[in-house]
A and B are shown apart, each in its own frame.
Chain A
Amino acid sequence: MTGYKFLRLISFLFLFLTKQVNAQPRDIAIAERSVKCLTDVMVHDITSPLVASRDYAYSLIAFYEAVRPGKSSLKSYAGQLNGLKALPEIIPGSQYDWLIAGTTAFYKTSYALVFSKDQFQIAWDEIVADLKKRRISPLVFERSVKFGDQVAEHILNWAKKDNYIHTRTLQRYTPFREAGFWKQTPPDYMEAIEPYWNQIRPMVLSRPDEFLLPKPAPYNSEQFLAGCKEVFETSQKNTPEQTAEANFWDCNPFATQTIGHMVYSVKKISPGAHWIGITGIAIKKQKQPLQDALLSYSLVSVAIFDAFIACWDEKYRSNYIRPVTAIQILMAPTWQPILQTPPFPEYPSGHSVISTASAVILTRLYGDNFHYIDYVEKQFGIADRVFNSFNDAANEAAMSRLYGGIHFRQAIENGKDLGRMVGEKVLEKFKP
């Protein structure tokens, strides 16, 4: 908070009123940078996609709730999301700077949730430096910061009761010995992550298994073998386009590269982070005001949060085998998928669930046939891709898991169903 103290001093020098009209593009830029600040530290920490979805959701809801009073037509999440009680209110008739209130709430919430706090602070200080350039009266500034603080505190108290802390203490996962169940996968044979994520309180869903998927094909059944064959054969004749799609949607924060004793991390953002990034692209393209932008960010993050819970509930119900394990046993002992298999059971495909749920939200907010260029993966040296709708993108993301050799088709198709149901439930509960 040292940055803010300095800002407070500086702001005495500029006793001008803020010019709201021209502020929007810059506000959006600050909001986008705030999100990136959180994304970067999570990538650095190799934060799992699950924990990332939690960090995003609470931070972005806090951001939204702290800017929301700036547009009276917007609803609060209180009463809509499980366990979230009425938020602190603004002082009627007083002036607020919503960007200050919002970034304060976001910063405080994120800071509490991330691990590498120093790193987060260093990046955040750069945002603070730009916020300093705003001309705000000290009174408004302090009032806005205070409101942001109150919102953050409220959200963090809510977060505390989501059972996350308790799930850190539970017994680590033991893979089932029997054939057909998930086993640790090459190259690093990491332990399965977050086996108890279905114990996390959902935000919208009444329970993690509200939408129960059909059981995956039994191991060694005809359907199962056909699924293996499809993954194997696809890998043999992948087109460059399919390979590009697989790499574009890889979104694996756990991947490693091995050269002798040197096993270094190849860091990428998680699937959730990718869709948060797409949300940012849509916001920018529409030149939305701050409040609407945060509604988009937060609503997508809520959908992703619940989608992961529903998805993980099924993953550790079916404990299903990964293609690499099955194909090496049944078909080709040296077969390797294009992508590294992430460390958790196969069914359903998390990316399919998350992408579809996000696309459902974004389609409602921005309409179908929304043309955009996705440059989210550019930072990892991966070329941009162009999409004509969010649903196109979600379908591609889902299928890319087959091309990448890390999922069977049934996990993709059923994963998309689950994502759609979760997304629609979110929209049904919180009508934007």
Chain B
Amino acid sequence: MRILYTVLLIISFCNGKAQPLFTLLPASKTGINFQNNIKESSTHNVLKYEYFYNGGGTAVGDLNNDGLPDIVFTANMDQPKVYFNKGNFVFDDVTTKSKIRADGWKTGVTMADVNADGWLDIYICRSGNEEPDLRRNLLFINQKNGTFKEMAALYNINDKGYSTQAAFFDYDNDGDLDMYLLNHPVKRYTRFDVAYMKSARDSLAGDKLFRNDGDHFTDVSVNAGIIGNPIGFGLGIAIADFNGDGWTDIYVSNDYDEDDYLYINQKDGTYKESLTSYIGHTSKFSMGSDVADINNDALPDLFTLDMLPEDNKRQKLLKGPEGYDYFQMLLRNGYYYQYMRNMLHLAQKNDGQIRFSEIGQMAGISNTDWSWSALFGDYDLDGWQDLFITNGYMRDYTNMDFLKYDTPELIKKARDAGKEPDLFDIVKKMPSSQVKNYLFKNTGKLEFNNMSQQWGMDAASLSNGAAYGDFDNDGDWDLVVNNINQPAFIWQNHAEDLKNNFLKIKFSGTKINPSGIGTKVIVSAEDGFQQIQELELVHGFQSSVEPCLVFGLGKRLSVTVTITWKDGKTQTLRNQPVNKIITIEYQNAGNEKISEKAPQMLFAENLADSLLFKHQEDEYNDFKREPLLPHQFSRNGPALAVGDVDGDGKDDFFIGGAKGQTAAIFINQGNGKFIENKNFVFEEYKDFENVEAIFADLDNDKDLDLYVVSGGNESNFQDHIFWNDGKGNFTYKPNIMLSTKTTGGAVVAFDFDKDGDLDVFRGSQVTTGAYPLPPQSYLLQNDKGIFRDITPDFLKKIGMISTAVAADINKDGFIDLILAGEYMPVTILWGQSKSPYFSVDKQQQIAHSSGWWNCIKIADIDQDGDLDIIAGNHGLNSQMKPTMEHPITIDAADIDNNGSMDAIISYYIQGKRYPLPTRDELFDQVPSLKTTFPTYKAYSDATIDDIFTDEQFKKATHLKTEEFRSGVFRNDGQGFHFEAFVNEAQVFPLRDFLIDDFNHDGLKDLLMIGNNFAVRAQSGRYDAGKGLLLISKYPDPVFSPVANTGFLAARDARKIIRIDNYLIVANNNDRIQIFTIN
């Protein structure tokens, strides 16, 4: 596979010199001279109608049944245009003859065979600052002679709302095509009570569902459970059977505050909005969307667009993210987690349930500026779905200088001249932001590479609706794009140059659904290749695509095609030869069920037992003190420790409380049941936040005592040792020698002085109020139960430690200490025979390993006889992706001499290092910089050198991070070599894992958990972790992910332990989870 991939790359590279994948065809060749002309006037401008610059749509389909796909464009202000395909990329403008006319403000367009006569009809949506009758949507019924007749009223879908787009599909599985109508408001109601607004229904602004009742449609919105409120600014609609139950679901993108909707079909004519059960967070200003199987696991994945720019300058110039408080307020008022960036929701099936992991940042497609249309298609036919994105906005509307300074200045100038300011004059002064469209190649590893330039798409434009179609019938997708004030783009695809194989599938469906809308096809091959596609018309934004499917097959020569029609009838084509255009006919379908035997789950959650303990965080908010922190240190924990406390031979467990919450010990009853053993001493010490804990016999009386580390980022950092009476009853006695004064992050008990009792290392995580200065850590020598602080100087401030383990890695008889943490390399302190036991000259920092490490374990993972280090890091699903060449840096000093530490994170954006905070965020921390950066523009190019003076910089603390990936530091006897895990294991911060043989093949597997919800509103919560099993395939060094294990740890998971045949997962600010290992 890897070789094949390399070969493909070489081929595409070689060909790239001669001819890029796509070439833009001029109007002189195609005859298509359409452009969407936007002419602003006093009656027609963005102040009268806020979606004035959203642009037009494009629909592709064979209107005259000559075997060649034709094109319809909508212009917002001008008439729509219809072009018939004459072959060889020559088109005829047949608009006049077609009799298609549409006045008013046109938006989306869809081709669909609404009357099921075998001829595609055209549905055009309208909106704008127009009279109601000019907003009525239009249905042009194909008269089979090149002309069309407007009949929307007859079919009862002449809706006069403010429409964006309509989608035709069979929602009730009765065989005919129903219609979802995506509408938007023209007023803003965000200042009002949210619950009230959410439950309201607005006949003009709200979305609607129309059921096809044969010769007319019926508005069933209310009974079908469609939300029709006046705050849903609908901009995108994605149709797919997301949960694979044979009933079509709907994803609606909503701009602004209102949440997106995921309507799951209830199979009874109703939908249930189920976003929060499937998806952890969404785009904020959600725009166009698309659905495709991007990782070839035969599950449809979802992608939504937003407006986060790729480059630093525009990120800093344009409106930035909300503050933490504002975000929390939206949540409290009932809105969901929404962040301003594109979201790629990767579907995962677990025990029959679909859950989406949002991985857009890791995939490299989260920042594509003000984006409209997303179209997945295997443009290079290599077997992986690539991605095309249109973008651009006619007025740089969110330019902060313009909003904060220029506009008030223009208003003032007008008033000084004795005139009332005309806002329209001001709008006309806004700059236009022409941005290049994006074309990404799917690498097959949950990553996309930006190929816009190499593949020939390098023109800046204001592009909106777009569609694909195979205009030259050569088996690859060509693209057509509707542009504002610029001719439409027709891009010819030259995938044939790559010599990849394809299969193009057309459908001849039922009598009432001749196009076969909703049909699902899985193409598979002997090498394990599989990909699902579903025939739906509406993709991207305000547009519909050619109603057929193209599968890229790479070099495969024969495939199996499995077709499932909407009514469940199936067909399987075995040994299907490639490079064909085939038509599948419904009449040949059979009733055979595609056998999909439910796999045996490796794990099963014991839901009732998971109610044993719920971790409850206190309200403290670190960002109020240090607004530039990347995450909250006050939300670590809960501590989770395993050990047999009552000496009955069965392991019990301790779970810590957050500040104000009492910790608990649960006694193992032997049958998977755990019962709390009340220890009143924990109640007494509940004001300490228990972030780490270990059971260890610290007084050599043959029972397990409990060392509990105190954390939080506020106060009360004193650790406690609770002494066991042998029966699991714990008491506390003050240990005057044990005094910890910093936030704890790690603890390990081991006998470093070889005197027969267990000593302790307590690693500290953060200096409260002075991130990232290293906090004091403690090496504590056990002297008959009294712990003396013998920390050598170098160890005192070694770093922000979040994990520590002890093991004799070099097998010299002395236990070594392995440490890691934030902005800290993986560090090995080699144990020595005598005091000070650890020294700076016996310290090994693994080169280029500085990360944001969360956890470390030591095991002979490759079974070569020596100990390896397995380490959990922040992962790659983040805006920042540090490497050795492009590290994250943090520079900290008191810039404004006001007594507070100013720690500025910088990271590389497009090859250059820029500060992370926005201008407003920076000023919140360092008000004096307002003078340095009087405008957003002044800050938009700023680097760390502009923030610190030379003198300040010299005195500052400088730290860096070069690695965010989790992986194995493999011990080869000479040293450690880092091998990162596969990308499936990089989509979440890896917080903890178990090393065990879960699939009983005699090899060690890794069961991983992780996430982080306690983060700045800017980065958004890390919730892509759902629990992951990586299995070893010895001697292949790569661990492979296993899907569908029954292990779903989707919360803010921090710790995992195994007791007998049970797994216990501790979640921050949430209940625990207990799983049975089957």
Residues on A lying within 8 angstroms of B by beta carbon are: 43-46, 115-119, 165-166, 168-169, 171-175, 177, 183-184, 186-187, 189-191, 258-267, 328-329, 333-334, 336, 379-381
Contact = CB atoms under 8 A, between A and B. Distances in A.
A172 B624 CA distance: 5
Contact of A169 (B326, B409, B899): B899
Contacts of A334: 189, 192-193, 196-197
Given A115-B930, A117-B931, A379-B416, A171 B625 contact: yes
A172 B197 CA distance: 30
B308 to A, nearest CB: 13
Interface in B394-434: 397-398, 402-405, 407-409, 411-412, 415-416, 420-421, 423
B713 to A, nearest CB: 12
6 contacts: A44-B405, A115-B931, A168-B900, A171-B624, A334-B196, A379-B412
B403 A264 contact: yes
B326 A184 contact: yes
B404 A189 contact: no
Contact of B927 (A117, A168, A171, A190): A168
Contacts of A169: 898-900
Given A117-B931, A174-B624, A259-B50, A333 B193 contact: yes
A291 to B, nearest CB: 31
Contacts of A119: 934
Nearest to B627: A172
Interface of B: 46-47, 50-51, 188-193, 196-197, 285, 319, 323, 325-326, 329, 397-398, 402-405, 407-409, 411-412, 415-416, 420-421, 423, 619, 621, 623-625, 627, 896-900, 924, 927, 930-931, 934
A260 B898 contact: no
A70 B927 CA distance: 38
Nearest to A184: B329
Contacts of B625: 171-172
Given A174-B621, A186-B191, A264 B323 contact: no
Contacts of A183: 329
A90 to B, nearest CB: 32
Contact of A328 (B193, B285, B325, B930): B193
A136 B1059 CA distance: 92
Nearest to A172: B624
A317 B188 CA distance: 35
Contacts of A184: 325-326, 329
Contacts of B900: 168-169
B425 to A, nearest CB: 14
Contacts of B402: 264
A171 B324 CA distance: 14
B196 A264 contact: no
Nearest to B414: A381
A273 to B, nearest CB: 15
Contacts of A117: 931, 934
Contacts of A333: 192-193, 196-197
Contacts of B619: 174, 177
A260 B53 CA distance: 11
A116 B898 contact: no
Contacts of B416: 379
Contacts of B285: 261
Contact of A380 (B193, B197, B403, B415): B415
Contact of B408 (A166, A260, A262, A267): A267
A262 B192 contact: no
Given A184-B326, A189-B326, A258 B404 contact: no
- Closest CB pairs A-B (n = 8): A260-B50, A186-B191, A333-B193, A169-B900, A115-B930, A333-B196, A264-B403, A172-B624
Contacts of B930: 45, 115-116
A328 B197 CA distance: 12
Contact of A116 (B47, B192, B931): B931
* Majority secondary structure, B binding face: loop
A171 B713 CA distance: 13
B398 A262 contact: yes
A261 B411 CA distance: 19
A260 B190 contact: no
Contacts of A172: 325, 623-625, 627, 924
Nearest to B901: A169
A189 B398 contact: no
Contact of A191 (B192, B323, B931): B323
A184 B323 CA distance: 12
B196 to A, nearest CB: 4
Contacts of A258: 188
A186 B194 CA distance: 12
Contacts of B420: 381
A260 B46 contact: yes
A177 B325 CA distance: 12
A191 B897 CA distance: 24
A173 B324 CA distance: 12
Contacts of B927: 168
Contacts of A115: 930-931, 934
Contact of A186 (B190, B325, B624, B627): B190
A75 B402 CA distance: 47
Contact of A187 (B191, B319, B896): B191
Contacts of B196: 333-334
A50 to B, nearest CB: 13
A165 B898 contact: yes
B992 to A, nearest CB: 31
Given A190-B326, A191-B323, A333-B196, 4 more contacts: A169-B899, A174-B325, A266-B408, A380-B415
A129 to B, nearest CB: 19
Nearest to B423: A259
A267 B413 CA distance: 13
A261 B624 contact: no
A261 B398 contact: yes
Contact of A264 (B325, B407, B415): B407
B328 to A, nearest CB: 10
A177 B332 CA distance: 10
A132 B528 CA distance: 86
B1033 to A, nearest CB: 50
A262 B193 contact: no
Contacts of A171: 624-625
A259 B47 contact: yes
A266 B412 CA distance: 10
Among A187, A189, A263, residue most surrounded by chain B Cβ atoms (within 10 Å): A189
Nearest to A192: B325
Contacts of B325: 172, 174-175, 184, 189, 191
Nearest to A117: B931
Contacts of B407: 264-265
B718 to A, nearest CB: 22
Among A119, A263, A329, residue most surrounded by chain B Cβ atoms (within 10 Å): A263
Nearest to A177: B619
A173 B924 CA distance: 13
Contacts of B411: 266
Contact of B397 (A116, A262, A266, A336): A262
B934 A116 contact: yes
B762 to A, nearest CB: 27
Nearest to B307: A261
Contacts of B421: 381
B113 to A, nearest CB: 36
Nearest to A185: B191
Among B193, B319, B896, residue most surrounded by chain A Cβ atoms (within 10 Å): B193
A264 B408 contact: yes
Contacts of A168: 896, 898, 900, 927
A335 to B, nearest CB: 8
Contacts of A260: 46, 50-51, 188, 397
B662 to A, nearest CB: 22
A9 B491 CA distance: 68
B1017 to A, nearest CB: 12
A166 B900 CA distance: 9
Nearest to B420: A381
